[in-house]
């Protein structure tokens, strides 16, 4: 597997061109012992078979579009559905299985790009997309940019699965999200209404909570998603970098802070991992073995005029920025 490595004294990140994927993230624990905190697969063939989006740049539209349908400027578009009731992450075999062109990497940064032709998976307009990964000390920066020759919709994110212990369950990880609202979902995990307050629910993660603390409470929203798989509305103005999440793994002492300029972050607890995915070390990935933090626009935005717009028009530039900072507790 042809891996490009980005390195600093405290962080190593591996990237491949298939799906513009992050395949490894190595960082030390509080004792100085290095470990891989991102779920990864054995080789590129395994990534080509992957249906869980490990480390991928997902698009054209991250998350779900209800029924795989939307209307833009009076024209109806259909995106092939790849799960019941929805087109997920741009439909089947989308950006996560494209071979991206890679610029010559530097020691700490690499840029990948691709041309998504008009009509790819039903989306209008030819989209020129770039994603840049950069390591700066303890930080990993992820930047997406896109331009189009016709009106379209765009929502890009990275789908790395994290386990700051380097293996085992993540239920003892402590997570906090700077969000006083989240988006409730229906049986197809499509937003069922406007944002609602997290107060008084298992979705109140404004102070640190064990990921596993309330997973089994039987809350209707947790039952619908089989865990957390919801968009949290990040406090503060979209377009400005602000802290969205902070995670601590108590045993290793590793920490992860996410800052983003996106309006939401999808917090996902690996609910669809069912033991069929074999990881790089030969272990089987199961529910609760990882979590994802996916900065992005709101799901189903093309069908929801009350949500922030995801429409991109010729002459405009789509941009998203996220910074992941790794560290340790004392």
9 burial level (CB within 10 Å; 0-12, 13-18, 19+): exposed
Residue 97 is given by DSSP the state G
Q: Which two tokens stand for residue 328?
A: 């340790």
16 CB neighbour count, 10 Å cutoff? 22
What gap in Å lies between CA 36 and CA 270, rounded to an integer? 18
Backbone phi, psi, residue 97, to 5°: -120, 15
Q: Which two tokens stand for residue 86?
A: 């929805």
What gap in Å lies between CA 35 and CA 290, rounded to an integer? 15
Residue of 18, 159, 173, 230 marked catalytic: 159
Residue of 96, 120, 249, 294 marked catalytic: 294
Q: Which residues contact 220 (CB under 8 A, 6 or more apart)?
A: none
Residue 152 is given by DSSP the state E
Residue pointed to by tokens 């765009």: 154
Helical segments of 139-294, H only: 220-225
Backbone phi, psi, residue 223, to 5°: -70, -40
Q: Which two tokens stand for residue 187?
A: 């049986």
Asked about 83 being catalytic, the answer comes back as no
CA dihedral defined by 65, 66, 72, 74, rounded to 10 degrees?
Answer: 170
Nearest in space to 264 (alpha carbons), one of 232, 226, 311: 232
Asked about 159 being catalytic, the answer comes back as yes
Active site residues: 159, 294
């Amino acid at each position: 597997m042809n891996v490009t490595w980005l390195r600093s004294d405290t962080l190593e990140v591996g990237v491949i061109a298939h799906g513009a994927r992050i395949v490894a993230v190595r960082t030390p624990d509080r004792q100085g012992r290095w470990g891989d905190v991102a779920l990864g697969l054995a080789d590129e063939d395994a990534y080509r078979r992957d249906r869980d989006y490990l480390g991928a740049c997902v698009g054209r539209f991250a998350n779900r579009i209800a029924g795989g349908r939307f209307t833009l400027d009076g024209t109806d578009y259909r995106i092939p559905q790849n799960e019941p009731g929805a087109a997920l992450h741009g439909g089947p075999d989308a950006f996560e299985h494209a071979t991206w062109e890679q610029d010559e990497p530097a020691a700490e940064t690499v840029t990948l790009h691709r041309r998504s032709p008009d009509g790819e998976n039903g989306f209008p307009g030819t989209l020129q997309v770039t994603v840049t990964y950069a390591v700066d000390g303890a930080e990993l920066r992820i930047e997406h940019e896109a331009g189009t020759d016709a009106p379209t919709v765009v929502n890009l994110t990275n789908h790395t699965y994290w386990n700051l212990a380097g293996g085992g369950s993540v239920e003892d990880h402590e997570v906090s999200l700077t969000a006083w609202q989240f988006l409730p979902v229906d049986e197809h995990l499509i937003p069922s209404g406007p944002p609602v307050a997290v107060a008084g629910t298992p979705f109140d993660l404004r102070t640190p909570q064990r990921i596993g603390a309330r997973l089994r409470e039987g809350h209707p929203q947790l039952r619908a998603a089989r865990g957390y798989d919801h968009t949290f509305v990040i406090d503060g103005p979209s377009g400005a970098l602000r802290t969205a999440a902070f995670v601590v793994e108590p045993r290793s002492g590793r920490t992860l802070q996410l800052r983003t300029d996106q309006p939401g972050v999808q917090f996902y607890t690996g609910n669809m991992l069912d033991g069929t995915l074999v990881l790089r070390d030969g272990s089987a990935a199961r529910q609760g073995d990882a979590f994802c933090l996916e900065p992005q626009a709101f799901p189903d935005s093309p069908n929801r005029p009350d949500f922030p717009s995801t429409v991109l028009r010729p002459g405009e530039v789509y941009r998203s920025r996220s910074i992941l900072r790794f560290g340790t507790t004392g």
